[in-house]
């Protein structure tokens, strides 16, 4: 069976509306090539502390740097340094701002696990029993540089629950949020299934190596919990650990659907905005802005759900595809098969050209790139300003690769004519190649709240089907895109909390 895309309702505008070309502007942050772990002593945002001393214990697991750092609010906070492995429960309060010195790992479950005579279930239970919880209070700021990254190992949890008026913000050590690649990111590891564990394997002790050398993950518990993350901003991350190996804004390695991730934004990351390596975690209310690789990426058997996501590319930093998806490298037979459900997303590509001369790069690219073996269900999606809508890579291997697009309202230049791409249209007719186009619509226009205007987003009410065994995640909607068209003022939009925290990201 050749690759195919099933389209139950596909509305396309073939002309791309003109957009203003924006040139990347400078800022207070350093270059996108990343920065070292050396802390400057003469920076205007740092000063010697008069209330704490170098080496004082802070948050029970950190040590004071002896400096204070200025926050966006104008407040100055002692700069507490976290380093190495956190092996006890800890709480990070707003009494300090926090610096991640290199990779900071919560718990010890990120190492290669061995049974040592115990059953896999007993070993997993032992790891969870030894696990720790890192609690991050609402309003906490992390200000880091270089490899600085926060890693939640399997068996341990994070409770990072900000609020709409006091989000948790992770950014680079200098002032402002317009840098890129200046520190690492947030990494979470779990015991959920991953197809790198081996075909047919249900081994709890699967040890799959993380990207960028952050540890190991994998197991067979899709309901596994890595904690909860709410109202979190990850900005300016994506440090290049080694050549062509950067840290994603948020990386989810075999994370299970027992984890809560809601109301999070990734801004100006040098690699992917968010990437799922296997697992079954669900994400709701996701904001991805100006990330330089893919905004949304999955691999290795990811089977989670995403609903309500606002994705904007190509403003000050050029991105690649809106979505890039794999199963397991070039494999079409590795199981479990990547097959998430993605609903109510708005993609906006502003088609910026960044840089000059030979270094210039246009922001327009494929909206979706589906590689060999991955499946997906996309429901109620709106997209504006992409060169082409769908690119599918793959060979005729005898494996069905089914991507279902239900209610895609998109403005794209063309379809890719990649090898072995097929369309199954609503009437069931099978067309080879990408020559015949479904009925075109009017051009997509987004309002002040990023809602799709002009009633083109109106669709029949639908509740998407969960990609995993979790229930109650999806809510019914009767519109395409991330924002209800009835919401026309940005202050009423679900993403407004992030706009209040970093207004420049939404200008």
pLDDT tens, position by position, 227-263: 999 999 999 999 998 877 889 999 999 999 999 999 9
d(CA 59, CA 38): 23
Q: In the prediction, which pLDDT does 120 show?
A: 81
* Higher-scoring residue by pLDDT: 39, 80: 80
pLDDT of residue 411: 74
**Least-confidence region, from 214-218, 258-262, 344-348, 440-444:** 440-444
Please, what is the average pLDDT of the chain? 83
Rounded Cα distance, 249 and 276, in Å: 11
| Interatomic CA distance for residues 268 and 248, integer angstroms | 11
Buried b / exposed e along 360-378 (16+ C-beta atoms within 10 A): eeebbbbbbbbbbbbbbbb
pLDDT class of 178 with cuts at 50, 70, 90: very high
| pLDDT over 60 (residue 358) | no
- Residue 428 CA to residue 145 CA, distance in Å, equals 54
The pLDDT assigned to 83 comes to 98
Residues 6+ apart with CB under 8 A from 306: 282, 283, 284, 286, 296, 340, 341, 342, 343, 345
Q: Give SS3 for 93.
A: coil
pLDDT of 184 above 90 = yes
CA 216 – CA 203 distance, rounded (Å): 14
Instruction: Look at residue 362 in the predicted model and tell me its pLDDT.
Output: 54
Residue 224 banded pLDDT, cuts 50, 70, 90: very high
**Lowest-confidence region among 25-29, 90-94, 133-137, 463-467:** 25-29
CA atoms within 13 A on the CB side of 74: 0
The pLDDT of 350-361, averaged and rounded, is: 55
Look at residue 417 in the predicted model and tell me its pLDDT.
38
pLDDT score of 349 more than 90: no
Which runs of E-coded beta strand occur in 75-182? 76-86, 90-92, 97-106, 133-136, 141-144, 149-152, 157-161, 168-172
**Residues paired with 97 in a beta bridge:** 79
User: Higher confidence at residue 199 or residue 195?
Assistant: 195
pLDDT tens across 370-415, in order?
887 888 999 999 988 877 777 777 644 444 567 888 888 887 654 4
- What DSSP character marks residue 177? S
pLDDT higher than 80, residue 424: no
Residues 6+ apart with CB under 8 A from 242: none
Cβ–Cβ under 8 Å, residues 477 and 462: yes
Contacts of 127 (CB under 8 A, 6+ apart): 108, 109, 113, 154, 155
Residue 416 pLDDT more than 60? Answer: no
With 80 as the cut, is the pLDDT of residue 188 above it? Answer: yes
CA-CA-CA-CA torsion sign (119, 120, 123, 128): negative
- Quick one: pLDDT at residue 8? 56
Q: Report the pLDDT value the prediction gives residue 19, as an integer from 0 to 100.
A: 28
User: Which residues, in sequence order, are CB contacts of 352 under 8 Å at separation 6+?
Assistant: 19, 21, 22, 23, 24, 314, 315, 316, 318, 362, 363
Q: Phi-psi region for residue 193, left (φ > 0), alpha (ψ -120 to 50) or beta?
A: beta
Tell me what pLDDT residue 375 has. 87
Question: What is the model's pLDDT at position 395?
Answer: 44
Of 395 and 144, the one with more pLDDT: 144
Q: What share of the chain is helix, strand, coil (3-state, %, to 5)?
A: 5, 40, 55
Q: What is d(CA 346, CA 481) in angstroms, rounded to the nearest whole number?
A: 5
Q: In this model, does residue 30 exceed pLDDT 50?
A: no
pLDDT at 479 over 90: yes
Closest by Cα among 299, 43, 333 to 194: 299
Please report which confidence band the pLDDT of residue 101 belongs to, taking 50, 70 and 90 as the band edges: very high
- pLDDT higher than threshold 80 for residue 179: yes
Q: Is the pLDDT of residue 418 over 60?
A: no
The residue with greater pLDDT, 63 or 197, is 63
- Whether 29 shows a pLDDT value over 50: the answer reads no
Task: Report how far Cα 222 is from the mean position of its chain's Cα atoms.
Answer: 19
Per residue in 115-126, pLDDT tens? 778 888 888 999
The rounded Cα 162 to chain-centroid distance in angstroms is 18
pLDDT at 210 over 80: yes
Q: What's the pLDDT at 211? A: 83
The Cβ-side half-sphere exposure at 363, using a 13 Å CA radius, reads 31
| Residue 244: predicted pLDDT | 76
The closest alpha carbon to 481, from 365, 286, 310, 320, belongs to: 310
- How far is Cα 170 from Cα 479, in angstroms, rounded to an integer? 33
Going by their DSSP bridges, the two strands 245-246 and 240-242 should be labelled as antiparallel
> Average pLDDT in the 457-485 region?
95
Tell me the pLDDT band of 427, cut-offs 50, 70 and 90.
very low
């Amino acid at each position: 069976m050749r690759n195919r895309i099933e389209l139950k309702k596909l509305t396309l505008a073939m002309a791309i509306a003109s957009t203003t070309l924006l040139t990347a502007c400078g800022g207070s942050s350093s270059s996108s090539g990343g920065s070292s772990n050396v802390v400057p002593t003469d920076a205007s945002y740092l000063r010697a502390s008069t209330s704490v001393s170098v080496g004082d214990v802070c948050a029970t697991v950190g040590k004071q740097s002896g400096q204070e750092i200025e926050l966006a609010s104008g407040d100055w906070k002692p700069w507490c340094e976290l380093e190495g492995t956190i092996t006890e429960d800890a709480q990070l309060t707003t009494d300090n701002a926090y610096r991640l010195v290199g990779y900071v790992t919560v718990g010890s479950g990120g190492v290669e696990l061995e049974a040592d005579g115990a059953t896999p279930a007993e070993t997993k239970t032992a790891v969870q029993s030894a696990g720790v919880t890192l609690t991050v209070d609402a309003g906490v700021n992390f200000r880091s540089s270089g490899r600085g990254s926060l890693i939640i190992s399997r068996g341990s949890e994070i409770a990072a629950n900000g609020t709409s008026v006091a989000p948790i913000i992770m950014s680079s050590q200098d002032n402002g949020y317009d840098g890129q690649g200046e520190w690492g990111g947030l990494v979470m590891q779990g015991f959920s299934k991953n197809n790198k564990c081996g075909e047919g394997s249900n081994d709890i002790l699967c040890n799959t190596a993380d990207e960028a050398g952050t540890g190991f993950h994998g197991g067979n518990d899709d309901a596994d919990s890595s904690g909860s993350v709410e109202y979190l901003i990850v900005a300016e991350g994506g440090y290049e650990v080694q050549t062509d190996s950067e840290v994603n804004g948020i990386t989810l390695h075999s994370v299970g659907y027992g984890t809560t991730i809601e109301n999070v934004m990734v801004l100006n990351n040098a690699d992917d905005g968010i990437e799922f390596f296997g697992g079954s975690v669900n994400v709701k209310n996701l904001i991805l802005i100006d990330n330089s690789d893919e905004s949304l990426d999955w691999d290795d058997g990811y089977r989670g759900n995403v609903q309500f996501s606002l994705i904007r590319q190509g403003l000050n930093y050029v991105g690649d595809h809106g979505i890039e998806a794999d199963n397991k490298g070039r494999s079409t037979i590795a199981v479990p098969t990547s097959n998430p459900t993605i609903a109510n997303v708005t993609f906006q590509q502003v088609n910026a050209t960044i840089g000059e001369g030979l270094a210039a790069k246009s922001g327009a690219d494929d909206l979706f790139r589906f590689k060999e073996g991955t499946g997906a269900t996309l429901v109620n999606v709106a997209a504006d300003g992409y060169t082409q809508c769908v690119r599918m890579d793959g060979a005729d291997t005898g494996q069905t690769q089914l991507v279902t697009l239900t209610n895609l309202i998109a403005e794209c230049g063309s379809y890719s004519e990649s090898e072995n791409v097929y369309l199954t249209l609503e009437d069931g007719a099978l067309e080879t190649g990408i020559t015949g186009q479904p009925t075109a619509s009017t051009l997509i226009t987004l309002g002040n709240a990023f809602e799709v205007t002009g009633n083109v987003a109106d669709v029949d009410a639908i509740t998407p089907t969960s990609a995993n065994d979790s229930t109650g995640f999806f809510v019914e909607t009767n519109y395409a895109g991330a924002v209800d068209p009835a919401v026309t003022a940005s202050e009423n939009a679900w993403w407004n909390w992030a706009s209040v925290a970093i207004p420049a990201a939404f200008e």
